[in-house]
Amino acid sequence: MYDWRLKDENWQKRHFVLSAFVRMKISLTKDVYEFCDYIISQGYAFDLGGLNEVDRQVREEYQKYLDLIS
């Protein structure tokens, strides 16, 4: 059975998104990991203008995700 999450490219994307949570001092919880899978599966592309911008986008998308699952 093929699991899309195991592709090297997706590991790199997950690392990129998780590093934003670390920079923002947000604990890496189950919801954070599930958000990473969700955002990658949706093909979301972050604006790479700078880490502050990426962190802002991750925070906004994470809040939308939390609203969606609650």
Q: What is the pLDDT of residues 21-65, one digit of tens each?
A: 999 999 999 999 999 999 999 988 877 778 899 999 999 999 999
Rounded to two decimals, what is the model's pTM?
0.81
The residue type at 1 = M
Burial class of 20 by CB neighbour count within 10 A (0 to 12, 13 to 18, 19+):
buried
Instruction: Provide the residue ranges of all domains of the chain, joining segments of one domain with +.
Output: 4-69
In order of 2, 16, 63, 69, the CA distances from 11 in angstroms are 15, 9, 22, 23
Give the integer Cα–Cα distance in Å for 10 and 4.
8
